[in-house]
Chains A and B, each alone.
Chain A
Amino acid sequence: MTRPFKLLTFAAFLLAATTALADAQDSTIGIRFENHHFTPQTLTVPAGQRLAIKVENASNETIEFESFKLNREVAMTPGQTITVHLPALSPGSYDFYDDFHQDVPEGAIVAK
Chain B
Amino acid sequence: MISKRPVRVAAVAILAALLAIQVVAVERTNPPSKGVFEAPPEIEATLRRACYDCHSNQTRWPWYSHVAPVSWLIARDVNLGRKEINFSEWGSYYPATRRRKLKWMGRALGEERMPPWSYRLMHPGARLTEADREALERWIESELKPPSAETSSK
Contacts and interface: CB of A to CB of B under 8 A. Distances in A.
Interface of A: 62, 64, 66, 68, 71, 73, 75, 97, 99-100, 102
Interface in B105-119: 107
Contact of A102 (B84, B94, B107): B94
B55 to A, nearest CB: 13
Report whether over half of chain A's contact residues are helix, strand or loop; otherwise say mixed. loop
A102 B97 CA distance: 7
Given A102-B93, A102-B94, A75 B103 contact: no
A99 B84 contact: yes
Contacts of B83: 62, 64, 75, 99-100
A102 B80 CA distance: 15
A102 B100 CA distance: 10
A66 B103 CA distance: 12
B37 interface: no
B17 to A, nearest CB: 26
Given A102-B93, A102-B94, A68 B100 contact: yes
11 contacts: A62-B83, A68-B100, A68-B107, A73-B104, A75-B80, A75-B83, A97-B100, A99-B83, A100-B83, A102-B93, A102-B97
Contacts of B107: 68, 71
